[in-house]
Structure 1
């Protein structure tokens, strides 16, 4: 179940950010899917989805010249402000500071 979920996330994270999509594809309810992950002492399914989106956002920010708006659109966000809030909530740092920190490390 965990492996199937991981494959689904990898194939769909740019288009689907909600847990319901993945649960439906695995013929489970979102609650059942979360309970399975909890029993197996795994991250929550929603955290796995969010971590994958954040990983890709960081890759775009580090290795491309794309703007935050372009990255937001690429990752399935309709509004750059929603993407910015999502990024800060999940990383603890805003996008512009993340870029500056990366450039300082080079």
Structure 2
């Protein structure tokens, strides 16, 4: 997303080289609007902000399914960099991720 590629396309390209996986999610705002507070700009000028896993625009289930279908059997970890308190956001994201693995 940071380079304005779709998450599924990025996973499809990289999955054959995977040695470690982490998942995260983002809120998105189009470049036609000013950068919202707490967001950062992508390569093409769109805007992203970290979100609780499952609350953003990343098709997390489809990405995890592609990783699993590749035969990868290592760790899949949660990365969180959003504005919500990590004390509530991380457990919520972890519960979401557990249902997918």
Classify the TM-score, shorter chain.
0.3 to 0.5
Higher relative contact order (CA 8 A, sep 6+): 2
- Normalized per residue, the structure richer in strand is 2
Indicate the structure (1 or 2) with the bigger Cα radius of gyration.
1
- Normalized per residue, the structure richer in helix is 1
What TM-score, normalized to structure 2?
Answer: 0.34
